[in-house]
Structure formats: structure tokens, C-alpha cells
């Protein structure tokens, strides 16, 4: 391979090594699809939640704000992006 071609390949590889992580950092957020919202709602109702606020996808999981549990208290929830199971629930102060 000529020296000029090797330099072009190395430059492209170096450029990707800098740009790719930046692109992936923003890839963690995306809109939640209607089907995902339906499955999340099914999970929340099954777990006794009566209503909830915003649902977002971030850092590889779903986040639900202001989910009101059967106890009447509000929680911040994190759900699995694989099976929609509740991974964590934190009382919303």
C-alpha cells in the first residue's frame, strides 16, 4: 500500500476513534415508541401503579417520573429495556 494511502487510512481510523465515542454518548437517548409505552404501562399497572408522568429512554433503560404507587406515594422508576421489569424505584421527594 502506498504511503499516501496508509496515511489516509490511519487518519480515517483516528478520526473515527475520536468521533465514535461522542456519537455513542448521544445515542443513549431516544424517543419511546408507542409499543414500548404500552408494555411499560402494562408493567406499571401490574405492579400497582395508578398513574405516572414522563417516560424516557436514557442510558439503556426506561425512566418513569412521578409514578404513583398503590400506597399513594410518588416514585422515580427505572425499567429494563429488555423485559420492561422494574429495576429500581426511588421515592420522589
When comparing pLDDT for 60 and 24, which is higher? 60
pTM for the full predicted model: 0.69
73's CB contacts (< 8 A; 6+ apart) are 91, 92
Task: For residues 44-63, give the mean pLDDT.
Answer: 97
In the prediction, which pLDDT does 19 show? 41
Statement: residue 39 has pLDDT above 60 = yes
Task: For residues 56-83, give the mean pLDDT.
Answer: 97
Signed CA dihedral, 39, 45, 51, 56: sign only: negative
Amino acid at each position: 500500500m502506498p504511503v499516501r494511502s496508509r496515511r489516509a487510512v490511519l487518519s480515517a481510523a483516528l478520526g473515527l476513534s475520536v468521533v465514535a465515542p461522542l456519537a455513542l454518548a448521544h445515542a443513549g437517548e431516544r424517543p419511546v415508541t408507542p409499543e414500548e409505552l404500552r408494555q411499560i404501562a402494562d408493567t406499571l399497572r401490574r405492579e400497582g401503579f395508578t398513574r405516572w408522568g414522563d417516560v424516557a429512554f436514557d442510558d439503556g433503560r426506561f425512566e418513569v417520573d412521578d409514578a404513583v404507587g398503590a400506597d399513594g406515594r410518588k416514585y422515580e422508576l427505572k425499567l429494563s429495556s429488555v423485559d420492561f421489569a422494574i429495576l429500581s424505584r426511588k421515592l420522589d421527594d
